[in-house]
Structure 1
Amino acid sequence: MPESAWKFLFYLGSWSYSAYLLFGTDYPFFHDPPSVFYDWTPGMAVPRDIAAAYLLQGSFYGHSIYATLYMDAWRKDSVVMLIHHVVTLVLIVSSYAFRYHNVGILVLFLHDISDVQLEFTKLNVYFKSRGGSHHRLHALAADLGCLSFSLSWFWFRLYWFPLKVLYATCHSSLRSVPDIPFYFFFNALLLLLTLMNLYWFLYIVAFAAKVLTGQVRELKDVREYDAAEAQSPKPSKAEKPLRNGLVKDKRF
């Protein structure tokens, strides 16, 4: 629960700020994706509001690499999650250095919304059974959150992301700047990110199939290891920290 609470608050704040940049300012990037490369020049100045978003996101994903290894619960997709954090951090640093910051804001906006809904859903799953009783309000919120998360993942990451981001970086960039540097490097990372989005979408489809066939009657994270399954492949130590660094009390 502490892990999901922290991530929910971060993603909600970061996505809200990205939404503000795209819809509360004069930046036309969402409605006109090719505009991310209008007047592009090497070494161009990065606006302070966009630089602030980059500082926030870069520090978070730098921490997330450490957190995935040593603090968060180890899951079936943790290796892919670790690769995702490394790729994301490289994208953040390189896009800032190459002055692809305009498209970077669009990428962050399209991805963070799904994480907000994922962590919101998980929090309500944890809250619905507590104190020896079942809380219907949290159960309903978890069900609605799961539905919203599944739809937003497809719409934002698998539909809008290729339509807006990949179209702009793969096609529009060459029309605006025919000899734009680091073209293949940057697009290779974005395509790798797309493949990881497809990989996680398979988890969503697998969970939906189990619900429809009656194999699962209540929400749970299908990435979690069950108690009866093999032990986590994560390296262990004599005094292993639990989620978010909380040390286990041997009295319990």
Structure 2
Amino acid sequence: MDMLNARYWIKENMTWYYTLEATFYYSLLLGAFFDVRRSDFWQLIFHHVVTLGLLSASWAINFVRVGTLVLVSHDIADVFLEGGKLVRYAGKHKMLTNVCFVLFMSSWILTRLTYYPLIVIRSAFFDAADLIQPDYQIFNPLQVPYVPRLIIIMLVALFLLHIFWTYIIGKIVVRTIQEGEAADVRSDSEDEAEEQEVRRKRLTKTKQQTKKED
């Protein structure tokens, strides 16, 4: 195999990795419409669509190294997230739930808030151009190909979602300190309905008390 073909050759294990990840995110995207809708439902949908777009675009132009780094930086934190959910749903391991949450939060900060923007996104902005063509200017929107710029836009979009979910994680930290156990602070549609009903009853009670005083 000559050097030119070796540069663009994709190994079989990489093909399987992309295939499995794409299948996984398609299942998440479709399954989200049948699952309990949390307050960040549309952010999740957007995340899955962007991730699938990144997988497709990076595969189409053979930017699999960027795609692989994105997947790995996401998968690490997800392991601790899903593990923590399993422990919490068991309902008998409060301390282990908190340990899983600490591991998740630490991996989230290291991978999605540090490694992802400082290594992956920075490399896409400043290093990827040399791999496309010698005279390629990533900041020239009129120069072809356009797909690398689309990939960068999607990378930044994912990072903005990371910031949004970091805010939610911060709220979980506050609740954990107050209540002693990590819990999901995102409300679902039933929770919102119950909260609205409680507020309505409180408002009605307040009005009745005000009328009695008058």
TM-score range, shorter chain: 0.7 to 0.9
Q: 1:210 Cα shift?
A: 3.0
- DSSP 3-state at the match of 1:218: coil
The 1-side partners of 2:67 and 2:191 are apart by 42
Partner of 2:43: 80
Q: 1:207 Cα shift?
A: 1.6
Partner of 2:107: 152
- DSSP 3-state at the match of 2:72: helix
The 2-side partners of 1:40 and 1:87 are apart by 31
Partner of 2:25: 61
Describe the shift of the 1:170–1:123 C-alpha distance in structure 2 as closer, same or farther (beyond 3 A). same
For the pair 1:126 / 2:89, whether they are aligned, the reply is yes
Q: 1:73 Cα shift?
A: 2.1
Partner of 1:93: 56
* TM-score (normalised: structure 2): 0.77
Q: Percent sequence identity over matched residues? A: 29
The 2-side partners of 1:104 and 1:188 are apart by 14
Aligned match for 2:10, one of 41, 46, 51: 46
Describe the shift of the 1:226–1:65 C-alpha distance in structure 2 as closer, same or farther (beyond 3 A). closer
For the pair 1:140 / 2:95, whether they are aligned, the reply is yes
The 1-side partners of 2:101 and 2:188 are apart by 19
For the pair 1:162 / 2:126, whether they are aligned, the reply is no
Over alpha carbons, which structure has the higher Rg? 2
The 2-side partners of 1:153 and 1:203 are apart by 12
After superposition, the CA RMSD in angstroms is 2.2
CA deviation map 1:109-165 (0-9, x unaligned):
11011111111111111112xxxxxx3xx2221110011111111110010011211
Higher RCO (C-alpha under 8 Å, 6+ residues apart): 1
Q: 1:173 Cα shift?
A: 1.1
Describe the shift of the 1:120–1:99 C-alpha distance in structure 2 as closer, same or farther (beyond 3 A). same
Partner of 1:186: 151
The 2-side partners of 1:229 and 1:94 are apart by 38
In 1, are the aligned partners of 2:113 and 2:162 still within 8 Å (CA)? yes
Letter of the 1:48 partner, please give it: E
Q: 1:64 Cα shift?
A: 1.4
Partner of 2:161: 196
Partner of 1:173: 128
Q: 1:174 Cα shift?
A: 2.0
Q: Which runs of 5+ in 2 are unaligned?
A: 139-144, 195-214
Partner of 1:22: none
For the pair 1:211 / 2:176, whether they are aligned, the reply is yes
The 1-side partners of 2:58 and 2:130 are apart by 19
- DSSP 3-state at the match of 1:230: helix
- DSSP 3-state at the match of 2:16: helix
Aligned residues: 181
- DSSP 3-state at the match of 1:69: coil
The 2-side partners of 1:98 and 1:226 are apart by 41
- DSSP 3-state at the match of 1:229: helix
Which structure 1 residue ranges, 4+ long, deviate > 4 Å from structure 2?
none
Letter of the 1:111 partner, please give it: H
The 2-side partners of 1:120 and 1:187 are apart by 31
